[in-house]
Amino acid sequence: MGRKKIVAGNWKMNTNLDEAISLISDIKTGSNHSSQIEKIIFAPFPFLKTAVDNLATETNFFVGAQNCSEHIKGAYTGEVSAEMLSSIACDFVLVGHSERRTFFKETDGQLILKIQHALNNNLKVIFCFGEHLEERKHGQHFDTVKLQLENVLKSFSEEQLKNIYLAYEPVWAIGTGETATPEQAQEMHAYIRRIVSHLFSEVTAQNLPILYGGSCNAQNASELFSCADVDGGLIGGASLKADDFCKIISSF
Ligand code: PEP
């Protein structure tokens, strides 16, 4: 059996409640022929419960949070715990997004804690990583990705990895309109699979979904998704337009 095919939309800090409801409704209608594709909506915190309720009866539709706290509970004003997300039937958490690493200075240690709490609360994780432009220019992109993966994944067991998906997101491609070529994406995804194989096993590496993220859109998705080791996409900007997002879902 082949690996799952997955399209996830990261809405970031966009939409209000009315916009979120109509976006979900339009995505539902526009993707109703794609039941075999796993679809995940990473909505902002205030709209997660609405998203869960509106997607409850849909096939292969899941809801994810864009972050969770590194703490379990307590006096951490403004934080949202993994347990809270689990209690509203959220399915996924995004961990390690480059915007969190850059703007909120999240470290590998914090990412490990977030993943631990997510898994302990029966949430699945999409773990994001990827190199900066300077690192690629200097030929350091493989070493960067290897370190990002090893530093975090070494804290988890092969069993736990069944609930972690990976998202390779070269930072220079996120929100820039510049995307990795299919060759660059394939080369890196195959490399990521080799790292996972060394850390765990070949079977686990072959079963692991690895998504590509970085200016993936309705025009370039099918080229990217046709790469042997690309199992789908994590979509930012284009996930805010239902038509574009549904075209991406249909791009396998
Ligand atoms: C992202 O935020 O994960 C992302 C890939 O954004 P964009 O598609 O806008 O580059």
Find the residues whose C-beta lies inside 6 A of ligand 1. 10, 169, 174-175, 213-216, 234-238
Average pLDDT for residues 93-112, to the nearest whole number? 98
Question: Could you tell which of 129, 165, 169, 247 is best to mutate to test the pocket of ligand 1, judged by most ligand atoms within 8 Å of the CB?
Answer: 169
Q: Residue 133 sits in which domain range?
A: 6-249
**pLDDT band, very low/low/confident/very high, at 7 (cuts 50, 70, 90):** very high
Task: Report pLDDT for 29.
Answer: 96
Q: Which tens digits make up the pLDDT trace of 60-96? A: 999 999 999 999 999 999 999 999 999 999 999 999 9
Q: Which tens digits make up the pLDDT trace of 9-30? A: 999 999 999 999 999 999 999 9
Could you list the beta-strand ranges (E) of the chain: 6-10, 38-42, 61-65, 92-95, 124-129, 164-168, 210-213, 232-235
**pLDDT band, very low/low/confident/very high, at 55 (cuts 50, 70, 90):** very high
Q: Residue 1: pLDDT above 80?
A: no
Q: What are phi and psi of 12, to 5 degrees?
A: 50, -145
Q: What is the C-alpha separation between 49 and 33, in angstroms, rounded?
A: 25
Number of domains in the chain: 1
Q: What are phi and psi of 167, to 5 degrees?
A: -130, 110
List, in order, residues 6 or more apart from 137 with CB less than 8 Å away: none
Q: Is 65 helix (H, G, I), strand (E, B) or coil?
A: strand
Average pLDDT for residues 175-192, to the nearest whole number? 96
Q: Ligand 1 centre and the CA of 75: distance in Å?
A: 32
The verdict on residue 63 lying in a domain is: yes
Residue located nearest, by CA, to atom 6 of ligand 1: 236
User: Residues with catalytic annotation?
Assistant: 97, 169
Q: What is the C-alpha separation between 100 and 235, in angstroms, rounded?
A: 16
Of the two residues 223 and 32, the one the predictor is more confident about is 223
Residue located nearest, by CA, to atom 3 of ligand 1: 236
The verdict on residue 172 lying in a domain is: yes
Q: Which tens digits make up the pLDDT trace of 125-140? A: 999 999 999 999 999 9
Average pLDDT for residues 182-189, to the nearest whole number? 98
List, in order, residues 6 or more apart from 65 with CB less than 8 Å away: 42, 45, 48, 80, 85, 90, 92, 93, 94
The residue count for the chain: 252
The verdict on residue 215 lying in a domain is: yes
**For residue 84, what are the CA distances in angstroms to 12, 46, 65, 162, 241?**
19, 12, 11, 22, 28
Q: List, in sequence order, every residue forming a beta bridge with 128; answer none if it has no partner.
A: 167
The verdict on residue 229 lying in a domain is: yes
Q: Ligand 1 centre and the CA of 9: distance in Å?
A: 9
Task: Report pLDDT for 2.
Answer: 87
The type of residue at 19 is E
Q: What is the C-alpha separation between 186 and 181, in angstroms, rounded?
A: 9
The verdict on residue 31 lying in a domain is: yes
The verdict on residue 1 lying in a domain is: no
Q: Which tens digits make up the pLDDT trace of 196-224? A: 999 999 999 999 999 999 999 999 999 99
Average pLDDT, the chain: 97
The verdict on residue 50 lying in a domain is: yes
Q: Is 237 helix (H, G, I), strand (E, B) or coil?
A: helix
Q: For position 148, which CATH number holds?
A: 3.20.20.70
The verdict on residue 241 lying in a domain is: yes
